[in-house]
Amino acid sequence: MGIGNWELNFMKNIIGKIKDLNNSGKIVNIAAVFCACILITSCFCAFMPVNGEHKIYDSLIRLHVLANSDSKDDQNLKLEVRDYILSDIDELTQDCKNAEEAGEKIQDNLEYIELKIKDFINQKQKDYDYSVKTTLSREVYPEKIYTDSSGEDYIFPSGKYNSLRIIIGEGDGKNWWCVLFPPLCLSGSKIEDELAVAGYSNDQINILKKDKGSKYVIRFKILELLADLFK
């Protein structure tokens, strides 16, 4: 497996940090620098994602809906917008074979999605005067556990994902998120089937299963801690 951009940037960051320490006089012994490099690199390589773990982040598209405020009306509107647009996006991406195709479809239809949401809000009986902004970009998500219709739990690790953001008004209220592609936002989804249709291998699906993928959670957590250490 080749090293991806994330790993390369991480290693460059390590080297840069050590150089900064050396230049500042905090590390003056060349042997210490060498040992530090070996130790950090060994830890990193020992826990670097394998068997397609790194693809988890690139094979999903998340949905993030931000409410105008935390008022009851604005929070209800957020959920109504979510329900309204999910069926449209599901229909838009239903023939896509992977997240890349789905992302291209969504990107090409961002203006359409935005207009649909604006029209929906304008048709509400309440006097809403909110702007709507939609973007497709990389965004950090926390760990999330989903339970499918069979009762099996799947752990989606925290990290950066492609994300469709829908910002209603000021976007200052509590947000809501889910997995947009494969379509796991709708209740009753059989997660394993949806992942398989989206191109996930059996190994990748097992990584996400709570009972079978626990050893991989440690790797994801260590990667997160290492990344935070060298920010």
Q: Tell me the DSSP string of 143-210.
A: -EEEE-TTS-EEEE-SEEEEEEEEEETT--S-EEEEEEETT-SSTT--HHHHHHHTT--HHHHHHHBT
Q: Are 186 and 133 in the same domain? A: yes
Does the pLDDT at position 169 exceed 90?
yes
Instruction: Provide the 3-class DSSP secondary structure of residue 112.
Output: helix
Domain enclosing residue 161, as ranges: 54-208
Q: Tell me, what's the pLDDT at 213?
A: 45
pTM: predicted TM-score of the whole model, two decimal places: 0.67
The answer on 174 and 63 residing in a single domain is yes
H/E stretch holding 131 reads: none
189 shares a domain with 88: yes
Name 165's bridge partners: 64, 135
- What pLDDT digit, counting tens, does each position of 130-155 carry? 899 999 999 988 888 888 878 888 88
Banded pLDDT at 72 (limits 50, 70, 90): very high
Is there a single domain that holds both residue 93 and residue 145? yes
Confidence of residue 159 (pLDDT cuts 50, 70, 90): confident
Residue 177 has pLDDT above 50, yes or no: yes
Residues 176 and 80 in one domain: yes
- Cβ(77)–Cβ(229) under 8 Å? no
Domain match, 28 and 80 both? no
Q: Residue 47 has what pLDDT?
A: 44
Q: Of 87 and 228, which is predicted with more confidence?
A: 87
pLDDT 10s digits, 4-27: 445 445 555 655 665 565 565 554
Total domains in the fold of the chain: 2
Clarify whether residues 139 and 177 are in a common domain. Answer: yes
Q: Residue 102: pLDDT band by 50, 70, 90 thresholds?
A: very high
The verdict on 110 and 220 lying in the same domain is no
Structure tokens at 17: 């940090």
Which segments within 35-172 are labelled E, that is strand? 61-66, 132-141, 144-147, 153-156, 159-168
Q: What is the average pLDDT score of the chain?
A: 75
Residues 181 and 151 in one domain: yes
